[in-house]
Structure 1
C-alpha cells in the first residue's frame, strides 16, 4: 500500500489554473481510490499499479489544452501496510499532539 501526493498544473495557462486543476481532481475522485485535496497537493492511496494510471490521466487532462505541464510526485510506499494509511498517518500525529497537550495542561 502507498500514499502518493502529487501536484499537476499547466505552466502556461496564465495566473489562474483552477479549471485545469479541478478537472485533474475530478479524475482522481472518480477513480474510487481514497483521496484528499489540499491547497497544494492531492493525495491518493492505493498500489503503484492503481495510482499511477490515475495520476497519468490527471496529467493528460491538464496537458489537453496544449500546455506545458508541471508534475510533482511524492510517495510513501509501505509494502504490506493495511489500507487506510491516508487517514491513520494523520490520526497518529494528532494523538501525539493531544497527548502533549494533556501532559502540559494546555487546551
Structure 2
C-alpha cells in the first residue's frame, strides 16, 4: 500500500463531515465532492445517511479525511465540523477492506444463531 509503513495501524473509521456557513439547507453537493476525493484514494468506503465508513492504513485514512476537508473548503464551505471514530486492533490481522464488513457480519451471525 502506498505511503504506509510497517508500523502503520489498520484503521476502521466512521466520520461525519458537516459543512457549515454555506447558507444552504442541503449539504449533498459538498458530500458528493468528498466522495469524489474518496474514490481516488483506493480505500474501501461506504457512505451512509449520516456519515461514511472508511478503512485502510491509519495514515491514508487520515489523509483522505484531510483531503475531503480541503475539497469541501475549495467548493465554498467556509467552515467544516467533523466527528471521527476510529477503531484499531493488534490482536489479529484484518484483511484489507474487510474491517467494517467483518464487524457487521459477526453481529448478523449472533442474531441468526439466536433465531434457531
TM more than 0.5: yes
Runs of 4+ in 1 over 3 A off after TM superposition: none
Report the equivalent of 2:30.
20
User: What 5-or-longer segments of structure 2 have no aligned partner?
Assistant: 1-9
1:62 offset after TM fit, Å?
Answer: 1.2
Report the equivalent of 2:93.
81
Aligned residues: 102
Q: Alignment RMSD, CA only?
A: 1.3
Report the equivalent of 2:18.
9
1:38 offset after TM fit, Å?
Answer: 0.4
User: What 5-or-longer segments of structure 1 have no aligned partner?
Assistant: 103-107
Matched, 1:93 2:107: yes
Aligned-partner SS, 1:74? strand
User: Structure 1 86/31 Cα, relative in aligned 2: closer, same or farther at 3 Å?
Assistant: same
C-alpha distance in 2, partners of 1:89/1:22?
Answer: 26
Superposed counterparts of 1:50-65, under 5 Å: 50-64=60-74, 65=76
C-alpha distance in 1, partners of 2:13/2:93?
Answer: 14
